[in-house]
């Protein structure tokens, strides 16, 4: 069996993740002789097989809705700042006008009023509510810099990018002091142009509304700056969502910085600019991130449905591929039962039929999914043939377990669009959420929804090393190395707010000699129950479909200065406890439903609060009241 790709080359220590620095690196996957020896013991040689075309890349996600979000509508006055000195700095005289045109298009998409200014006097004359955008303002006099900071002290917003004020009014080198003062950065690092340039966006930031947790955006290769700023942040990464910095725990990888002044001003620095993203999906994500950033700088409130239910930061799925040593699967079932955790078992159905004695043990602690009928990849085959093969596996496993089978774990984690559509359409009248569990090219750390005429199907991505990566590809049998790999992956996914995917095989980590590793990992999860929403694959897929079908709107109340947040659940949904993240730049508000104050928690960017369970089709209105003198636990006035 060809080796599965290693989705996460490296990770770092717990302290690093808990501080939100997200600095990871790369460990290359290596195919070694042990792989062949191990997989020779898997009895699949006698199974019917047909060669399929090798497809290494998962199908492209062309559009996505990372989650329902809303912002307060209204017009914002914007001053687009560009001085003569900066324009003269660039050898290409068309460069800065082109940059300003890109920013103007992005700002116009919000329906805002834009004016062009270029002097200190014009900066000083702006009303405090004006948003100042200063693209690539590298050459600034001391008076211009002071005018920008004075605007912040008046409670205004300023957005800048690149080397803000690094040169003086004569374009002579000044240094990074202005950029440090503007952003609060501890350090600034210059990165030279490389072959690949990515930005990754964790969940629950002030600018992440509507973006899937761990969304990765690819930009055209260019030199860029990285900032060392404390706390969770948007950061420069490699393809696998690991920090691009190689400078150690304190290295600078920040690609975006937000800072609120004591007077309520909002300073934003961006490491990218409009028009730099590559593919349509990258462009859509970059535009969403930029729009979120501009609204934050302008003081516009926003709201989003949290990525996971019950106030959890991240989701977690424990899954086993049962393809050899079938009796070993009961070991994981026992471990899960003892800890009260649900798991998902993906079985090769033709083999499972020879082991009816373990069906109840597995079904009692979770969910049964398909690992195909014969452990032969279907990828590359025509959709009709894939459907025939997958339907067979589904029928056999449903007869074997007495459960509906909604999840597919494709062998070698290789699948194409035809696989998704074949699995989705193999039983169109089935209730529940169909899904495929496999690597997704590290496009994001969250489930992805693919929409077809047959309906919607969810891909649950694996971005953690599994036992195959460690034991077979890396060639180590040391239990502590396998334990470390699982825990490093969980720290990373927990910090991103994505989906933790603890994946093991019945003939590797589920064996009597290694199941203790899984026990250790699950015990560590039990100590972090406030972080993880632990669920089966179908429960995660169902939540993701229901969540993205919700709708939010934010509007001024009919009277006073309250805001109203309207939440609507789609018909046919069934929700757990939904949490709402509200971003309130420079504001302080408390949620009420009717006359009842809702419990809430302050966040770095605003507030978070739960809604009581939503019925299908229900519409709920929440008032956001200015919170002067009211504490989170106080009753309604």
Least confident of 8-12, 176-180, 485-489, 509-513: 8-12
DSSP assignment letter at 255: S
CA distance linking residue 581 with residue 595, whole number of Å: 21
Between the two ends of the chain, the Cα-to-Cα distance in Å is: 66
Summarised one tens digit per residue, pLDDT across range 468-517 is: 999 999 998 889 999 999 999 999 999 999 999 999 999 999 998 899 99
pLDDT score for 600: 94
Sign of the CA dihedral running 393, 399, 401, 403:
positive
Residues 6 or more apart in contact with residue 303 via CB below 8 angstroms:
69, 70, 71, 209, 552, 554, 565, 580, 581, 582, 583
Identify the CA nearest to 266 among candidates 75, 133, 118.
133
Retrieve residue 483's tokens.
Answer: 């334990």
- 627, 606 contact by CB (below 8 A): no
Percent of the chain whose pLDDT exceeds 90: 70
Sign of the CA dihedral running 201, 424, 575, 570:
positive
Least confident of 279-293, 516-530, 567-581: 567-581
Average of per-residue pLDDT across 421-450: 88
CB atoms within 10 A of CB 494: 22
CA distance linking residue 251 with residue 168, whole number of Å: 27
Say if residue 428's pLDDT is above 70: no
Least confident of 156-160, 319-323, 534-538, 601-605: 601-605
pLDDT score for 586: 76
Q: Which residues pair with 290 in a beta bridge?
A: none
Least confident of 228-232, 334-338, 507-511: 228-232
Say if residue 383's pLDDT is above 50: yes
Q: Is 300 helix (H, G, I), strand (E, B) or coil?
A: coil
Under the banding of pLDDT at 50, 70 and 90, the label for residue 570 is confident
Class of domain 77-299 as given by CATH: alpha beta
- 499, 461 contact by CB (below 8 A): yes
Do β-strands 197-201 and 407-408 pair in parallel, antiparallel, or remain unpaired? unpaired
Percent of the chain whose pLDDT exceeds 70: 87
CA distance linking residue 593 with residue 346, whole number of Å: 43
Say if residue 105's pLDDT is above 60: yes
How many CA atoms within 13 Å lie on the side-chain side of 509? Answer: 32
Question: Where is pLDDT greater, at 7 or 162?
Answer: 162
Under the banding of pLDDT at 50, 70 and 90, the label for residue 53 is very low
Average of per-residue pLDDT across 266-283: 92
Under the banding of pLDDT at 50, 70 and 90, the label for residue 211 is very high
pLDDT score for 567: 92
Q: Which residues pair with 235 in a beta bridge?
A: 200, 254
Distances (CA, A) of 115 to 24, 81, 160, 424: 42, 9, 16, 51
Say if residue 632's pLDDT is above 60: no
In what helix (H) or strand (E) does residue 71 lie, and over which residues does it extend? strand 69-71
Average of per-residue pLDDT across 396-410: 95
Say if residue 207's pLDDT is above 50: yes
Q: Are the folds of 14-39+311-544 and 77-299 the same? A: no
Say if residue 576's pLDDT is above 80: no
CA 557 vs. chain centroid, Å, equals 32
Q: Is 346 helix (H, G, I), strand (E, B) or coil?
A: strand
In what helix (H) or strand (E) does residue 418 lie, and over which residues does it extend? helix 417-425
Retrieve residue 256's tokens.
Answer: 């975006």
Which superfamily does CATH assign the domain made up of 14-39+311-544 to? Answer: Glycoside hydrolase/deacetylase (3.20.20.370)
What are the residue boundaries of the structural domains of the chain, listed by start?
14-39+311-544, 77-299, 550-626
pLDDT score for 36: 28
Average of per-residue pLDDT across 229-245: 89
């Amino acid at each position: 069996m060809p080796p599965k790709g290693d989705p996460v080359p490296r990770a770092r220590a717990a302290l690093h993740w808990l501080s939100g620095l997200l600095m990871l690196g790369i460990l290359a996957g290596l195919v070694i002789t042990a792989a062949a020896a191990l997989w020779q013991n898997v009895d699949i040689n006698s199974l019917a097989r047909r060669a399929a075309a090798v497809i290494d890349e998962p199908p492209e996600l062309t559009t996505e809705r990372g989650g329902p979000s809303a912002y307060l509508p209204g017009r914002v006055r914007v001053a687009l700042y560009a001085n003569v000195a900066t324009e003269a700095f660039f050898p290409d005289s068309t460069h800065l006008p082109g940059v300003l045109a890109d920013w103007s298009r992005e700002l116009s998409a919000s329906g805002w009023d834009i004016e062009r200014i270029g002097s200190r006097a014009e900066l000083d004359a702006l009303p405090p509510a004006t948003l100042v955008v200063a693209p690539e303002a590298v050459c600034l006099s001391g008076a211009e810099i002071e005018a920008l900071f004075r605007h912040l002290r008046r409670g205004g917003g300023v957005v800048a990018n690149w080397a803000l004020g690094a040169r003086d009014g004569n374009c002579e080198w000044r240094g990074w002091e202005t950029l440090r003062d503007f952003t609060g950065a501890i350090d600034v690092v210059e990165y030279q142009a490389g072959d690949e340039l990515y930005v990754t966006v964790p969940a629950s930031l002030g600018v992440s509304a509507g973006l899937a947790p761990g969304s990765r955006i690819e930009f055209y290769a260019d030199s860029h700056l990285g900032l060392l700023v404390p706390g969770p942040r948007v950061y420069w990464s490699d393809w696998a969502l690991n920090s691009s910095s190689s400078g150690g725990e304190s290295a600078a990888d920040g690609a975006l910085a937000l800072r609120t002044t004591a007077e309520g001003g909002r300073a934003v620095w961006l490491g990218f600019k409009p028009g730099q993203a590559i593919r349509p999906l990258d462009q859509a994500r970059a535009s969403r991130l930029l729009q979120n950033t501009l609204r934050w700088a302008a003081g516009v409130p926003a709201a989003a449905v949290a990525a996971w239910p019950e106030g959890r930061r991240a989701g977690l799925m424990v899954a086993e591929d049962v393809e050899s040593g079938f009796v070993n699967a009961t070991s994981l079932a026992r471990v899960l039962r003892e800890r009260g955790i649900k798991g998902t078992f993906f079985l090769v159905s033709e083999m499972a039929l020879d082991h009816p004695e373990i069906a109840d043990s597995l079904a009692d602690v979770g969910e049964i999914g398909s690992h195909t009928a014969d452990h032969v990849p279907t990828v590359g085959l025509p959709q009709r043939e894939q459907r025939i093969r997958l339907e067979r596996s589904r029928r056999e496993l449903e007869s074997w377990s007495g459960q509906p089978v909604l999840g597919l774990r494709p062998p070698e984690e290789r699948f194409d669009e035809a696989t998704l559509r074949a699995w989705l359409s193999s039983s169109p009248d089935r209730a529940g959420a169909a899904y495929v569990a496999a690597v997704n090219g590290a496009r994001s750390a969250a489930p992805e929804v693919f929409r077809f005429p047959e309906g919607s199907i969810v891909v649950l991505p694996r971005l953690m090393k599994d036992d195959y990566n460690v034991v077979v590809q890396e060639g180590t049998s040391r239990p502590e190395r396998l334990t470390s790999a699982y825990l490093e992956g969980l720290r990373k996914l927990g910090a991103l707010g994505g989906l933790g995917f603890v994946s093991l095989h019945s003939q590797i980590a589920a064996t009597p000699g290694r199941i203790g590793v899984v026990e250790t990992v699950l015990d560590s999860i039990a100590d972090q129950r406030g972080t993880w929403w632990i669920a089966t694959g179908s429960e995660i897929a169902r939540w993701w479909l229901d969540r993205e079908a919700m709708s939010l709107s934010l509007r001024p109340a009919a009277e006073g200065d309250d805001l109203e947040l309207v939440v609507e659940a789609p018909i046919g949904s069934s929700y757990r406890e939904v949490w709402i993240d509200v971003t309130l730049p420079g504001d302080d508000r408390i949620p009420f439903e009717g006359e009842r104050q809702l419990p809430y928690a302050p966040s770095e960017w605003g507030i978070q609060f739960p809604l009581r369970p939503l019925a299908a089709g229900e519409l709920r209105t929440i008032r956001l009241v200015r919170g002067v003198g009211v504490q989170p636990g106080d009753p309604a006035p």
